[in-house]
Amino acid sequence: MFEILQAGGWVMVPLVLASIALVGITLERFWSLRRSAVIPPKLGAEVRQWARSAKIEREHLEKLRTNSPLGAILAAVVAHRQRSRDVIRQHAEDAGRQVVHRLGRYLNALGTIATISPLLGLLGTVSGLIRMFLVITTAGIGDANALAGGIGEALVATAAGLVVAVLGYLFHRYFRGKVADLAVDMEREVVMLIDSLEHPPEAAHGQPVRAVR
């Protein structure tokens, strides 16, 4: 493996660094975007029951806000539950934009890796070709080993750049789609909460949210 990296020339250094960043971001996003962490099971139903209480403790509201991304949006709704639907939706949308922005953290970096990796590979290709032509200029075409070194640098750099770019692009698209799906599900929970506040099915019972930690 080291021989292959060495054959790719100096451009393999930024490509290796890009691949390490790619792995780190991918693992972090897989962990942070777990559905159970973003939208805890049963949290929406518990908050709908709890939010109809006549009095809501501030500490319960703070725990809900820090519970999860969904909890942060639901807390914005509960905090303004006595106001009009339009005002509640506005606060929910403001909180939702901040939450979605946090869920998309590092995705721009992932997209950048996918974009620059083939360019780095192309730069390595050009570097290898230049090296090969310099050998031809100084030693002619008789030095097969030197010529092979230039060709090998071009091919290895190109292949490495394409591999990193393809993986970066795939994970970037996957995580963007996952964030979009989670945003839609969170919006559904918010709408259900607002509807329950406007049309409570029965008398409220002031119970704290059990899912809040």
Per-domain residue ranges of the chain? 2-198
Q: How much is the pLDDT for 206? A: 46
More reliable by pLDDT, 165 or 203: 165
Angle between helices 107-139 and 144-198 (to 10 degrees): 170
**Per-residue model confidence as pLDDT tens digits over 58-75:** 888 888 888 899 999 999
Compute φ and ψ for 42, nearest 5 degrees: 70, 0
**If you average pLDDT over residues 94-116, what whole number do you get?**
94
Is it the case that residue 208 has pLDDT exceeding 70?
Answer: no
Secondary element (H or E) of residue 20: helix 12-32
User: CB under 8 Å, gap of 24 or more: what pairs does 21-28 form?
Assistant: 21/109, 21/113, 22/110, 22/113, 22/164, 22/167, 22/168, 22/171, 25/106, 25/109, 25/110, 25/113, 25/171, 26/110, 26/171, 28/106
Q: How much is the pLDDT for 16? A: 92
3 state DSSP class of 137: helix
Percent of the chain with pLDDT over 90: 47
Q: How much is the pLDDT for 204? A: 43
- Return the minimum-mean-pLDDT range out of 2-11, 37-46, 107-116: 2-11
Burial category of 87 from C-beta neighbours within 10 Å (exposed 0-12, middle 13-18, buried 19 and up): exposed
Is it the case that residue 213 has pLDDT exceeding 50?
Answer: no
Q: How much is the pLDDT for 145? A: 62
Question: How many CB atoms neighbour CB 86 within 10 A?
Answer: 8
Angle between helices 69-79 and 144-198 (to 10 degrees): 30
Judge if pTM exceeds 0.75: yes
| Residues 183/100, Cβ–Cβ less than 8 Å | yes
| Residues 80/88, Cβ–Cβ less than 8 Å | yes
**If you average pLDDT over residues 45-62, what whole number do you get?**
80
How many CA atoms lie less than 13 Å away from 170 in the CB half-sphere?
7
Is it the case that residue 200 has pLDDT exceeding 70?
Answer: no
- Return the minimum-mean-pLDDT range out of 15-19, 24-28, 98-102, 202-206: 202-206
Q: How much is the pLDDT for 205? A: 46
Q: How much is the pLDDT for 149? A: 62
Q: How far apart are CA 25 and CA 210, in angstroms?
A: 32
Percent of the chain with pLDDT over 70: 81
